[in-house]
Structure 1
Amino acid sequence: MALLRAALAQPFSPRPALPVRHPPTSLTGSELSLDFSLPPHPGVGAPRRAYPRIEATARRGARTESAKLRNRRLQKKFNGTATKPRLSVFCSNRQLYAVLADDHNKKILFYGSTLQKSICGDPPCGTVEAARRVGEELVRACNELGISEVSYDRNGFARGDKMMAFEVPVSQHGFLPR
């Protein structure tokens, strides 16, 4: 019991305090030599504690990026010329827009959308049918301009009904690799 009282009276220290050692300095000639070695850790050779495994994961949302950022990055790859223009397609929830662009001369060679009266007709047809007509108009304009190939840039949009309807006449003409 006396031993327990003596242990409780002393302050608790999880590790014994290491003596403060000043590095010995010895001047030999013109050089100064310092020794900064520390005594070995008291737990060397002791069994390690089991910690929970930590796994490195990617940041949340690291693989999702907006279509606009992806388009800007890919425009470097799909740079259009007069002989091989860039066919850029934008597909919103309701409409489809297609542009043939000559990026070197900064010119638009063809523009077509499902909103144009000449394409959707009177009375207006559905957007899927109008998207197919935009593709047909694009093929007609390419024949008039003497364009035999294009670089296709769909701006990262998924191939939905409007996009598929647009691609059918364009791929039948041989512009899209399949």
Structure 2
Amino acid sequence: MAKTNPKTTARAKRIRRIRKKISGTSERPRLRVFKSNKHMYAQIIDDVAGHTLVSMSTIDKEFEAGDEKGKVGAAKRIGVMLATRAKAAGINKVIFDRGGSVYHGRVKSLSEGAREGGLEF
């Protein structure tokens, strides 16, 4: 039997606990954030239809490394770019899903960038 990593099981429990409380609709979709060690991913999801409406990440072709300070600055740019894509798709209000991560650092920076871009949480 394979050993399970306590960090991943604890994170999975946090994700389930968050997802019990929030769900995205077509009027107010869910903004989901995932961060790895190298990259940052964000997508806006309609949970009723089960579709991703808009997505953005640091590995996206439109994203270029700029003058921002490290990963936190890149996350903020991801938030701004995601907000402009969402506005083009007609999305103004979202529900924020931090994805089991602490609302600090890159996650907080992404949400602030999305707010600057015009999304309402």
TM-score normalized with structure 2 length:
0.77
The yes-or-no answer on 1:168 pairing with 2:115 is no
Structure 1 unaligned residues grouped into runs of 5+: 1-64
Q: What is the alpha-carbon root mean square deviation over aligned residues? A: 2.4
Q: Give the number of the structure with larger relative contact order, counting CA–CA contacts within 8 Å between residues 6 or more apart.
A: 2
Whole-Å separation in 2 of the counterparts to 1:75 and 1:169: 23
**4+ runs of 1 displaced by more than 6 Å?**
none
Residue in 2 that maps onto 1:91? 35
Residue in 1 that maps onto 2:11? 67
Whole-Å separation in 1 of the counterparts to 2:93 and 2:99: 18
- State the one-letter code of the partner of 1:98: A
- State the one-letter code of the partner of 2:120: F
TM-score normalized with structure 1 length:
0.55
- CA drift of 1:131 comes to 1.1
Query: How many pairs align?
Result: 112
- Bigger share in helix: 2
- CA drift of 1:83 comes to 1.3
Structure 2 unaligned residues grouped into runs of 5+: 1-8
**% identical aligned pairs:** 32
- CA drift of 1:127 comes to 2.6
Cα distance per residue 1:36-89 (max 9 Å; x no partner): xxxxxxxxxxxxxxxxxxxxxxxxxxxxx6121221232232211111101110
